[in-house]
Structure 1
């Protein structure tokens, strides 16, 4: 049962007039989250003197927390304080997070000294890491209250299903556009200007998101959280749990798919850092921006496929197509890495070699992402459909944890993953010269 809306006695609240405030807050948080998380590995390596694959593992864990956070935000909104309060708290948490990131970049006491060589490299202190990880945690809180909760709040402002469908469509467009802007513009400023300026701009965007939310408060319709409905949902979940067992294969395959994409996202940044990122004489592609190719391809492909007969395909078929495309993408990545290692001693390979595999990943996402959400919604018991779409976030988050655990296990059991990504097992086997 949906939480009851507190309908106004006049027409000055609710409706499309709330759209710019809610969507502005969502876009602001999404933009800075991608702007920071896309470049988090680079920041850990260059500013905190953390090893490359240690940074990749931290990135995986942080991304998993960010992916799982919206489920927690939804539960708090539905059963405790309502969507509006959660959205406001989330935008405030995101703003504080950006302030902390900016502080670590501006204040030398909050990060280790610059690492000038491998022998003169001081690791971060426990306090420095604690502040950094607290900033990441607050960023996850920001995502928890905006990504899905913000969409629910926006839909609650509208009375017709047609308007709600339109709102959801525009919300996804806004999420993709803001994510691409964060992964390109903000990351470029961090890399090409400075970390303080890059994080400072993130702070300004987060402040604008919070301001937009506050300016819209007089116009919002409120939802009244219902603890009884939430408790009944847990009872129904237990009663109908057997029906969910049949969904475990598709959920498990989704976790494995997410794990491969997570490994790709973290390793691709490390690859880009070791490749020739020049476009022309002056422009240098930020390593953290390379994964924006996935977002751009996915958003464009979803828009195109929505206007073709592909959108009429059964969800399972779309999921299967996404898995197949992703398998080809992983094979393309392996071939690219093989070629990169083969010539890295002579001349770094252009970063553009990574783009074809990233385009394939984005194209596959255009199939399996909407297909998975549609499948969960259609197959979940009717009493649990309100949690169906959020299940994708859980699957994605677990995939990040699996990827991080896989990297850790591979590092413990083999010598394949070294801090210098050019020093691989294949190079040692072939006796190729290693780069320092």
Structure 2
């Protein structure tokens, strides 16, 4: 057994409430103490304080893999809407829904990899497993597109089914390895400042890969060389596997902590068993071994918190026989692990709605661009899918500036070491509202040009309006992503327990997935309502006859309400506090 229970202790929170405030700034009130994490190498051997693994040496190959992986996924998914519309003759709404469903699945399966990495396989080996699945799916996509190019009209439906099967395999592999890779990179560092810097660079390298996909791979696809573009993407994903394997001996990881969902379920069951017991004035249960490690492998102890007090019933000992049985009584650390999940829930909901707007980058924005003039001069014509390069460039250029200029200045002025995570996410949401308002006016300009043109009813005809009117909304969403997504990566990774870090890292991706599903649902509802009575609706097959501007305005209104909800939730948020590793355990008077 890795842990042996040698003592039963009671817990003293030494409570001082975290100060709150969305606009007041985050207080670093964690008493971090000495780290009690057991660091292991790629073969699960304890490495102690060995210097040749971990830190930036261990994370360097992680950054390379995320760059290759995002290049591959960008080459497959960025232009997929146009591929489905032009080759498979899908409507704008159908192609958008196919895309958002696919992306929703990709981000939703992040929980699969996160669960396996945290609970059983370890993060190093979980990443390798799903990289292989990712590469397999991307190669099958290349095969499917090649078969489509060689097929005769009409294209067989079984070929389309094969294509979507390959796409969903790719989505599972890509979505499942990404959060584990992110948390694995964070595990290479000890200080919170280094972790935050790594997350920023993780985001930058991800966007570098996307930029290459947008500027290189999509060039071939928009010239009709779809198979070549998809094969380049698959080849890059294959290349990421040996790159990752070379870096494995230089990386460190934490011991898998067992099934985190069982621990969560145990807390709720124990709290329900003691529903008639008041925890006020009682002594809460805590176990530890002789070196101060909690009963959860790979996780530090948490200080007791005063919110969600009804869960404290799970740590009340009913009888001496209950001690040591997690299905009858849970430790304070285990209860606090569940409280962390409940605290981040409102932030997670707001993140889902934020990503409903982000979903338009790969759907309706591209459908708009396909009807606009992308020429610069006589010879260069920007593909509609490549317009996302402006979002990526905004991310790449703004992230280092924010990390090395803005954040140090804020830390110096405020003294808050964590980098204002909640404020960053709120700023990202506010910028997304501005982007949608800008998009409304740009779409109205496009509609005016389209309805003044004799080509209004010609499919995919280029209207006399420059596609570069879309640049402001792409750039604004790029800056919004820097604030919101990097903030989410840092926030969810840091606010959950050490034994749930990959699950924490999967939550931003899960927000993306549910945001895509929410976009699909919203488009379906809007289409159903606006097409009643024989009307074409807001998002018809020919968007020149529609009103996408009204849909964008609806998104802006929804996001405005969400921002108010988020501001209230952030104002009352209480940050987790890690107990010092050598803290003395004393009785708790919960009536104070």
Please tell me whether the aligned partners of residues 37 and 254 of structure 2 are also in contact (alpha carbons under 8 angstroms).
no
**1:109 Cα deviation (Å)?**
7.7
Please tell me whether the aligned partners of residues 39 and 47 of structure 2 are also in contact (alpha carbons under 8 angstroms).
no
Cα deviations by residue, 1:140-175 (Å, 9 ceiling, x for unpaired)? 233234322123334445677776555444323211
Partner SS for 1:227: coil
Q: Paired residue for 1:324?
A: 430
Deviates more, 1:314-323 or 1:405-414: 314-323
Q: Label 1:367 to 1:151 Cα distance change in 2 as closer, same or farther (>3 A).
A: closer
**1:11 Cα deviation (Å)?**
6.8
Q: Paired residue for 1:66?
A: 106
Q: Label 1:426 to 1:353 Cα distance change in 2 as closer, same or farther (>3 A).
A: closer
Cα deviations by residue, 1:365-409 (Å, 9 ceiling, x for unpaired)? 233333444555676678866644432222221111010111112
* Counterpart mapping for 1:65-84 below 5 A: 65-84=105-124
Please tell me whether the aligned partners of residues 12 and 219 of structure 1 are also in contact (alpha carbons under 8 angstroms).
no
* Counterpart mapping for 1:348-427 below 5 A: 348-376=464-492, 387-414=503-530, 415-416=536-537, 417-424=539-546
Please tell me whether the aligned partners of residues 83 and 150 of structure 1 are also in contact (alpha carbons under 8 angstroms).
yes
**1:39 Cα deviation (Å)?**
0.8
Q: What runs of 5+ residues in structure 1 fail to find an aligned partner?
A: 114-121, 428-436
Write the distance in 2 (CA, Å) between the matches of 1:426 and 1:84: 44
1:270 aligns with 2:386: no
Please tell me whether the aligned partners of residues 84 and 90 of structure 2 are also in contact (alpha carbons under 8 angstroms).
yes
Cα deviations by residue, 1:302-345 (Å, 9 ceiling, x for unpaired)? 32233124576744433333222211211111111111011124
Q: What runs of 5+ residues in structure 2 fail to find an aligned partner?
A: 1-35, 270-310, 312-334, 454-462, 531-535, 550-592
Cα deviations by residue, 1:263-311 (Å, 9 ceiling, x for unpaired)? 3541001001111122222222121121222222133223223312457
Partner SS for 1:29: helix
* Counterpart mapping for 1:170-319 below 5 A: 170-192=201-223, 194-217=225-248, 219-221=250-252, 224-227=255-258, 231-232=262-263, 234-236=265-267, 239=311, 247-306=344-403, 307-308=405-406, 309=409, 314-319=420-425
Please tell me whether the aligned partners of residues 35 and 187 of structure 1 are also in contact (alpha carbons under 8 angstroms).
yes
Q: Label 1:170 to 1:379 Cα distance change in 2 as closer, same or farther (>3 A).
A: closer
Deviates more, 1:299-308 or 1:378-387: 378-387
Please tell me whether the aligned partners of residues 179 and 503 of structure 2 are also in contact (alpha carbons under 8 angstroms).
no
Please tell me whether the aligned partners of residues 60 and 403 of structure 1 are also in contact (alpha carbons under 8 angstroms).
yes
**1:207 Cα deviation (Å)?**
1.9
User: Hey, which of these two has a bigger chunk of helix by percent?
Assistant: 1
Q: What is the TM-score normalised by the length of structure 1?
A: 0.83
Q: Kindly tell me the number of residue pairs found equivalent between the two proteins.
A: 418
Write the distance in 2 (CA, Å) between the matches of 1:397 and 1:19: 26
Write the distance in 2 (CA, Å) between the matches of 1:372 and 1:44: 32
